[in-house]
Structure 1
């Protein structure tokens, strides 16, 4: 037995726990972690920080590591260092990290709750509902990108209400959930195109470019939206995350373990929905991060129930790298949504083939 003492907590490995498990005890609460998952998640955090540093240094105006450190610590060597690092690149990469983390966390929650590898916000209609709400605010109500956050949240919550009602009435699970999501996606997309067709042409062009999913021109206003959303929803998800293992065993067993299945599911879905709405409002409907990141996190950690935090780190890293590719790998910069759709399309085909082969076996 090894013990790491600390104020009010202990870190122990015990007999009866597999050698790869780490148990954290805080008061009456006991949390068990897979050692590989803890290590790989820590590595993911380091990679995210490295990706942020690279994003701040590269570009037409290059900033060296020393100049970057001086700028971040408040002593820029040149005025242009401060402009490019703090005013241009830092808000963009922070939005990428926040949006990637939010979408991936939402995808992990949906996939775990519905026990469906395809149950992600952009497949079952949540992203399209949020996009419709944001576009309606932008073009019909004459709002700004900041006020579009409210429209995106309302659109995502409306989709949440529809899915919730259909789940209660029809017991949506498995393939039926995906089919209903595809139907909702088609309806919301049609409504979005109708709003675009009725709008003033220059405004419609701006909104249409936004619908591709882009981080270009993102500033501290979008950083604030994403940060506030994560700060408000993160603690709720962290508290309810412990209910997943009980929910996996069914509502009856969960109730005997002291977990109210209905409330836990509602809270988790509501938190995921808010994350989707805020992410869409900040960067547009960036596709496939929510679908791919949880699968990649499970593959990296080799844990079937890889934690939401591991998925969030994977999503942040994936979107950050995709934005670097979109910004620097082409003759002219392209929206990051183009890169994520290209990667996601290949990933989705691979996922469908893998699931088909698994069911055949």
Structure 2
């Protein structure tokens, strides 16, 4: 059989029409197809937006909001079967997910923690150097963001152990992508109780909902100066609320009765509430707040929907077929498909 040459421009046109799941599979057709598919220009031209779903002890899943079949699909975990692994996503930069996982090694009966940079589309990954660790049996709180400029990427990590009586503050570790190293910050984090393991990044600050002297508030950390500040929460019970961003503003969303309540902070410490009523909201809980005004929610049967808060209609929803066995620590992170190498984050 004579080989048939298809011009790249025609191949691009064909590949651009495929759902992202099929596009990832077609990388195996040939080396030439693989190079075309992960070409930065091709992926940027297509602007494929995806949602990465992460839950402890479950495989990584991906949702393609633009796929008409609305199917979730599993990703190959960088280090084999994630069973018994506690996985967190600190954030995504240029299509690269920053993942932290804790797992138990049966061979030597020890716990280990790994931080990796992972491209969900290409499956390429890169290990981040291990920090000088405290006891691995304690939990850690994380954040990922940058300071004055986007080329100053940092990972923040501090322990969530119960403080000693003599401690009012504790130090924390900072990983700099510029120097490819960890350092112990000279600043200190107050002893507070955190409601989530990962901070929300916006405009140079990382944010966590915390209990401070039995009062619920937001703790903000300036990623550049490492200075701390407090932000009052809106007058609502947000014990299970999810922090996120909408239109470049910090926001928090939660289900109250049959209402989805979204509070947006357009000015420092000033919140405006939106009450989105729908009879089915009492069956759901908020997983995450997506870019573009979408809120990802899951019902008691582990089925997902995206509610679009910016549409004129109050009930513009999209349902997805799929199932996640374990929902402990479930989060969803939106990202743009990229062919970037994880090592690129060290060379910004």
Q: Shorter chain as normaliser: what TM range?
A: under 0.3
Q: Which has the higher strand share?
A: 2
Report which structure shows greater RCO (CA 8 Å, sep ≥6). 1
TM-score scaled by structure 1? 0.21
TM-score scaled by structure 2? 0.22
